[in-house]
Chains A and B, each alone.
Chain A
């Protein structure tokens, strides 16, 4: 049987294409921005756990985004932490966000940092962080064409690459803690401290002791990713994600609403004909909804393919940027695109179903 829905979609190609594009853009927006957000979090999680510390200590209420945390911890706190029974290593870090590199720069004390299991494994150059030395990971070096001995501007400061380390470290750029403190005008202050318990120590007991001694500081166990990514440690992220989803859904909703609303006015006479044939309100509503579902389906397919393409482009052009796009993310994006599109058609469908058949038949 010839489908009236398919025929209607084909008969208005411009409207159909614009609607498909709009739904697709909504889905793409959701998948790409959501993917970059999730990719950044996954990247953070992997790198943080890769440091191999048992605990991360930050000022109270600090964000997981280290760069958002002020340098509020006195570096001398590290010495006191070492006095807590069971604490073997404390590595103080000052984190700064480099907008030019779209990533973090860690100011570290190389000696204490290299005592952690995630120490910097040097693949070329000299393992040294003094003065204007900088150590970058292989991925960063490759994407910027860097080798040991080459100069590089970071945070408006000229550094010289002393070594290239393996990727997987906490960040991609490491400089001397002292240099970064001077650049930041926060001498003797750090953003966070990585803490490692001694071999064979009861990690939970060490954690309890630390919490007991420093109740006003934020101490998180790195063995639990859910704690690392707890909402309280990511202020605004939940709202940001919700806003992206809302905007994407609204885009699908508004475009389908407008397209179908215009369509039912164009088709007033056709709706009158259907009513004269005895078509129920349910039949007319179903017809409009099926049309919007079909357009939304095509839009979602277009959006998914576009997102996959954009993801490849981003990953190729910016190797340090992660775009997470799992099957579940894609399913969620499709479901939200479909929902937005279908909801957008409800009012026009209802309006069409309630049309006066006599007026509709005489519509010019």
Chain B
């Protein structure tokens, strides 16, 4: 199922709208967003704080339900699905990478990665074809460590491994370099770039950082709940530099 009939689109939104209500107060977070992401594309979404980037990412991941419009993820319209059905879509098709890594602190790196497989239903151990991802992320020697024993960069690589280990159709990355120093940021961006180029992984990344956005194959800018531009790769000049 696609909205514009393009079979290669992994993500499509049509007039996607999100309004938060608190009593009689309504806050429009997203206004009729129309966005398509092709299979294997690396899309960066930039914009100032409060522009709706995170809301858009939550909607794409099925964590919340839109108040209007459609979201098609890998052929499935998730906008009208129940919470349980959206959870199932997320489990099968989406991997999340967060700014604050969000690893479970009580278990090791291996445990965190295996947990994703267990939830996904694709096994309980890292034996089945998981070695390539672990090696690619340089985590072989770090699997036994707990998150608190790892550096920020290492934690984020574990989080990326957790996101990709179940081979989801889409990786949604929410400011993945936001908590890292420049050296670790570059390393994580390189990993994401490798995943996109070598494994043809579709990635949607939201970021404040123009340098981070530069590794994407396409960058769009958001402001006030709307997408401002769809510039081609390399032609992007952020309009909101200095706002944060």
Interfacial residues, chain A to chain B (CB-CB below 8 A)? 1-2, 4, 7-8, 10-11, 269-270, 272-281, 283, 357-358, 361
Whether B119 sits at the interface, judged by CB under 8 Å, is yes
A276 touches B118 (CB 8 A): no
CA distance A358 to B104 in the complex (A): 17
User: Would you give the 0/1 interface string for B87-99, flagging 1 where the beta carbon is closer than 8 Å to chain A?
Assistant: 1101110101010
- Which of B58, B92, B102, B106 touches A278 (beta carbons < 8 Å)? B92
Say whether, besides A2-B114, A358-B58, A358-B64, A278 and B104 are in contact (CB < 8 Å).
no
Residues of chain A within 8 A of B228, CB atoms compared = none
How many Å from the CB of B176 to the closest CB on chain A?
14
Residues of chain A within 8 A of B108, CB atoms compared = 2
- Which of B90, B105, B110 touches A276 (beta carbons < 8 Å)? B90
Residues of chain B within 8 A of A270, CB atoms compared = 104-105
B84 touches A275 (CB 8 A): no
How many Å from the CB of A278 to the closest CB on chain B?
3
CA distance A361 to B175 in the complex (A): 14
Q: Which residue of A lies closest to B83 (CB)?
A: A281
Whether B120 sits at the interface, judged by CB under 8 Å, is yes
B87 touches A275 (CB 8 A): yes
Interfacial residues, chain B to chain A (CB-CB below 8 A)? 58, 61, 63-64, 84, 87-88, 90-92, 94, 96, 98, 102-108, 110-111, 114-116, 118-120, 124-125, 162
A278 touches B88 (CB 8 A): yes
Q: Which residue of A lies closest to B172 (CB)?
A: A276
Residues of chain A within 8 A of B111, CB atoms compared = 1-2, 4, 7
Residues of chain B within 8 A of A357, CB atoms compared = 63
CA distance A360 to B7 in the complex (A): 35
How many Å from the CB of A288 to the closest CB on chain B?
14
Q: Which residue of B lies closest to A354 (CB)?
A: B83
Q: Which residue of B lies closest to A278 (CB)?
A: B91
How many Å from the CB of B27 to the closest CB on chain A?
14
A273 touches B104 (CB 8 A): yes
DSSP majority for the A interface? helix
- 5 closest A-B pairs by beta carbon, nearest first, are A278-B91, A2-B111, A7-B106, A1-B124, A11-B106
How many Å from the CB of B20 to the closest CB on chain A?
11
How many Å from the CB of B51 to the closest CB on chain A?
17
Residues of chain B within 8 A of A361, CB atoms compared = 63, 98, 102
How many Å from the CB of B81 to the closest CB on chain A?
13
Select the residue from A1, A4, A277 with max chain B CB neighbours within 10 A.
A277
B87 touches A280 (CB 8 A): yes
B107 touches A4 (CB 8 A): yes
- Which of A8, A11, A277 touches B115 (beta carbons < 8 Å)? A277
How many Å from the CB of A12 to the closest CB on chain B?
9
How many Å from the CB of A267 to the closest CB on chain B?
9
Residues of chain A within 8 A of B105, CB atoms compared = 11, 270
Q: Which residue of A lies closest to B96 (CB)?
A: A276
B115 touches A4 (CB 8 A): yes
Residues of chain A within 8 A of B92, CB atoms compared = 278
Select the residue from A276, A278, A357 with max chain B CB neighbours within 10 A.
A278
How many Å from the CB of A276 to the closest CB on chain B?
5
B63 touches A277 (CB 8 A): no
CA distance A220 to B9 in the complex (A): 87
How many Å from the CB of B201 to the closest CB on chain A?
17
CA distance A280 to B116 in the complex (A): 12
Residues of chain A within 8 A of B94, CB atoms compared = 278
Q: Which residue of B lies closest to A281 (CB)?
A: B84
CA distance A134 to B90 in the complex (A): 83
CA distance A283 to B90 in the complex (A): 14
- Which of A7, A278, A281 touches B119 (beta carbons < 8 Å)? A278
A8 touches B90 (CB 8 A): no
Residues of chain B within 8 A of A281, CB atoms compared = 84, 87
Residues of chain A within 8 A of B58, CB atoms compared = 358
- Which of B84, B106, B107, B119 touches A277 (beta carbons < 8 Å)? B119
Q: Which residue of B lies closest to A1 (CB)?
A: B124
Query: Can you list 17 A-B pairs, Cβ within 8 angstroms, ordered by A?
Result: A4-B106, A7-B111, A8-B106, A11-B106, A270-B105, A272-B102, A276-B61, A276-B98, A277-B116, A277-B162, A278-B120, A279-B87, A357-B63, A358-B58, A358-B63, A358-B64, A361-B63
Select the residue from B119, B120, B125 with max chain A CB neighbours within 10 A.
B119
CA distance A276 to B61 in the complex (A): 8
Residues of chain B within 8 A of A277, CB atoms compared = 90-91, 96, 115-116, 119-120, 162
Residues of chain A within 8 A of B115, CB atoms compared = 4, 274, 277
CA distance A272 to B96 in the complex (A): 12
A274 touches B125 (CB 8 A): no
CA distance A11 to B125 in the complex (A): 22
B102 touches A273 (CB 8 A): yes
